[in-house]
């Protein structure tokens, strides 16, 4: 039976690589985007685009969007630059989506975070990255407390390199990993119950993704 996957941030660089992976294996993919001009890009991946402003809509409206799906993937983000919008999207909208998933009874939720996120992220308050670090920490903590079957993926610095199909989930410090490999990891963890309620930090590495996750 086809898995129904809803992706927030459906026109992001990772999402555009994830969507064809899911569509090609038979999943039904809905990609949430803010800009109608991006519909054709998303449709070309095999996903169905839905224009929906996650920053503006409330929890009940997000619940209506999520209802009927099997999995929520959060790959949205404000993209940095403006602290207020970073908090509005990466923290507040993400938290509303988590609450909406709970209300809708959609128990599987995969969050794309970053390597080092957490209360001890160590980013100084005067650093431009501080708002993002704080926002992701808050959203991740809310997800962990939600009761959902969550997985938090925490890749290191993202590159546009070609996929290697191999990662390192044992590294204690961040390096880098391609967006294509992040997309492959998301696809692999969605059906893998062993990843429920786990935070997985990873770099590019030597272990095949298929050996890390059982699918």
Contact 171, 177 (CB under 8 A): no
Classify 213 as helix, strand or coil.
coil
Which tokens go with 60?
């009940």
* CATH code of domain 4-212: 3.40.50.720
Enclosing H/E stretch for 42? helix 39-43
User: How confident is the model over 175-192, as a mean pLDDT?
Assistant: 97
The pLDDT of residue 79 is 79
> What tens digit of pLDDT does each residue of 109-159 get?
999 999 998 888 989 888 888 999 999 999 999 999 999 999 999 999 999
H or E element, residue 180: helix 179-189
pLDDT, one tens digit per residue, over 23-63 is: 999 999 999 999 999 999 999 999 999 999 999 999 999 99
3-class DSSP assignment, residue 26: coil
By the 8 A CB rule, do 104 and 143 touch?
A: no
CA 121 from chain center: how many Å? 19
When the pLDDT of each residue in the chain is averaged and rounded to a whole number, the result is: 95
Report the pLDDT value the prediction gives residue 215, as an integer from 0 to 100: 61
Residue in the structure block whose two tokens are 């998933």: 101
What's the pTM value of the predicted model, to 2 decimals?
Answer: 0.96
- Name the 3-class secondary structure at 207: strand
């Amino acid at each position: 039976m086809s898995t129904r996957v809803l992706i927030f941030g459906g026109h992001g660089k990772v999402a555009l690589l994830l969507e064809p992976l899911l569509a090609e294996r038979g999943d039904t993919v809905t990609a949430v985007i803010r800009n109608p001009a991006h519909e054709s890009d998303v449709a070309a991946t095999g996903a169905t685009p839905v224009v929906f402003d996650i920053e503006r809509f409330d929890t009940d409206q997000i619940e209506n969007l999520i209802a009927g799906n099997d999995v929520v993937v959060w790959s949205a983000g404000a993209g940095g630059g403006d602290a207020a919008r970073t908090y509005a999207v990466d923290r507040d909208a993400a938290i509303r989506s988590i609450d909406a998933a709970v209300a809708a009874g959609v128990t599987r939720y995969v969050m794309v975070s970053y390597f080092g996120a957490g209360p001890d992220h160590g980013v100084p308050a005067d650093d431009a990255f501080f708002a993002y670090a704080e926002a992701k920490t808050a959203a991740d903590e809310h997800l962990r407390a939600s009761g959902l079957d969550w997985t938090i993926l925490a890749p290191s610095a993202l590159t546009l390199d070609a996929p290697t199909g191999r990662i390192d989930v044992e590294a204690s410090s961040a390096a880098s990993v391609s967006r294509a490999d992040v997309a492959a990891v998301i696809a692999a963890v969605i059906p893998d119950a062993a990843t429920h309620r786990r935070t997985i930090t990873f770099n590019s590495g030597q272990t095949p993704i298929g050996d890390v996750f059982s699918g």
